[in-house]
Chains A and B, each alone.
Chain A
Amino acid sequence: MPEDQGVNGGRWTDEVSRLFKKAGWEKIADSNIDVPSVDGHQHGIDALFCYEDGFNPKMKQGVFLEAKRYSVNSFQKKKLNDWVHKLDEKIRKLRASQEFLETYPHITDVKLVNGVLAIWFHDLNLHPEFKDKFIQYLIDVDTPKGRGSKFINLRLFVIDNEKILRLASLLHTVEQWNKDKGENSLKFYYPSSARFGSPVQETSTLNLEYIFSQFVLAKAKTSKGNNEFEVTDVVFYFGRLDVNSFVRLREALLAYDMINQQNSLIIYKYIRQADEFRKIQPDVIKLFEDKYPKNVAIKDMETFNDLPTWMINE
C-alpha cells in the first residue's frame, strides 16, 4: 500500500500535531474527524488548529491539516496535484457550512483560510535524489486560479521532510533556551508594519509565514535580579553561509530593529558546513560587530536526521 493509512497514517497525524502544538498552535478538534460541509456531505479532516498570528493581532488563523505518510517509490506527481485541489475544495466547502460552524462555535473568530499538507516520506534516506524531483512536482502543480474578488484566497502549504525537520530543529532550540534561561523567556518577534497596520508583537507562537521563512526573529528576556531584565536579540537562520548572505541578513536585522547597542545578538544557524564556515566565521562576526550590538555570537541549532523523540512519544 503506497500511503500508510490506518494505524501508521493516524500515528503520523498525531506526530505532526505534536510539532505544531510545540509551535504554540491550539488543536481545535480530535484527529481524524468527519465534519459536515455545505454540500451536505461529511468531509474527513486529519486535524484542525488555530493560532494567534504575530503579524495580525486582530484575528486568529485557522489551519486545516492533512497528514500524509508516504513511500518515495510509490509517490507520483499527480497525487500532489490532487491533494492541493482537494484541500482547496474542502476548505472552501467547510468554511461556508453553517453546520460546521455550529459544531465548532469558537472558530467563528478564526480566519479559516489556511491548509497544511504535511507529507512524511518514511524512506527518504534511501533516496536523496528525490528532493529535486519533489520540488519539480511542487512547481508542476496546477494551482487553482481565480479572478479578482470573486473568490477568497486560500493559503495552502506543503511541508515535507526537510521543512518538518527544520521546524523541529527550531522548536527544539527554543525549548532548550527556555529550559536554560527560564520558561517563556524567548518570544518570537513580529516586527510592525505600517503598510499592514500591525503593531510589534512578541509571542510564543510561530506563524505560518515564519515556518516558511528563511530566518525567524526572536527576543529573549532574562532576569538580572532586582526586577531588571537583559534582552538578547535571537535569530534563527536557515539560509546559506557565504559572506554576502550574511551581509543581506545583517541588513534585514537592521531594518527590523534587531541590532541594538544594549543587547547581545545570537544567530543560530541551521546549515552546519563546519569546516568551510570556520574559515569565514571571524569575518561574519565582524560584519555584525560593525553595527555595534553589545556582542555577537553565532551558534548551531540542534539538527535531526529523523523525527525527534518528542514528536514520536506521546
Chain B
Amino acid sequence: MSQYFAGVDIGSTMTKVVIMNQSVLASVIGPTGPEHRKLANRVMEEALGKAKLPFEDITYVVATGYGRINVPFADKQITEISCHARGVAYLLPEARTVIDIGGQDSKGIKLKDGRAVDFVMNDKCAAGTGRFLEVAAEELGVKLEDMGKLSLEAKKAVSVSNTCTVFATHEVVTKLSKGAALPDIIAGLHEAIATRVYGMLRRLKIEREVALTGGGAKNIGLVRAMEAKLGFAVLVPPEPLLTGAIGAALLGKDIVKEAEEKGTTLARAERRLQEATLFT
C-alpha cells in the first residue's frame, strides 16, 4: 500500500495544506483569519477531497507555521524554519539561502545539505513584512495582488523615509495627494520592504542561490526590488506559498522512513478531523 503524507502550514494570514506521496497530489490555500484559526480541519478536508483520499490513508501529518499548535490532528509539530528549509531544498536544490516574506513576518534561512543551519527573523515589527504592503495597499485603494504589476510601470520609485508602517502609509498617502504617480509610490514601498529585509539578512552572509518564498514572492515588483538590493536574480518556486507545507509533508516522510529503518513504532494522533481548542 502506498504511503501518503500531509503538511499543514498555518501562517499568520494563510493556511496551506499539501498531500504528497512521491510528489504533490493535492494542495489547498485558504485564509487563516481570526475565525479560521481553529479550522485547519476544513482546509485538510478540502485537500483530502481533491486527492480523493480518506483521512485514514494519511500515514503521517506534520503541522508547521505560527499556528501549528492549533492542529489537533497532527502527528507532530515542526518549526517553520525546518519546514521551509526542507521544502526549498526539495524544490530548488541549488538554493543556499531562503528569504521568506510572509503575511506578518519575514525570515532569512541559511541552508546546508538541505537543512537550516542559521536563521534570522522579524515578527516584532510590521515593516519588512507582507502586512506593510497590505496596510499601504488598503490606504492607497489598490488591490494587494495588483501592487506588483502596477509598480513595474514606475518611472522613478518614490523614496519612503519612514520605517514604521503607520507613518510610512501616512507618508505615501500625502505624497500621492501632492501629485506623485501611483506606480512610483508602490515601487517605493517595495523598495522600503526590500531594504528592511536586506538589512535583517546581512547578518546571515547571503550565499547564492537565493530562493524567495512566502506571499511576498508572488509580488513581481517586490521580487525585482529584492533582486536590485541583492544585485542578482533570485529563484522563486512555482507556488511560493506552499514551500512550508511541502517541507512539513517531506519531514513527515523522513520521520516515517527513519522509524521503519530502525523498526521503532511512531506515536500518532487519532485520525479524526476536528476543530482546535485554541492555544495561543
A and B, one complex?
no
Residues of A in contact with B (beta carbons under 8 Å apart): none
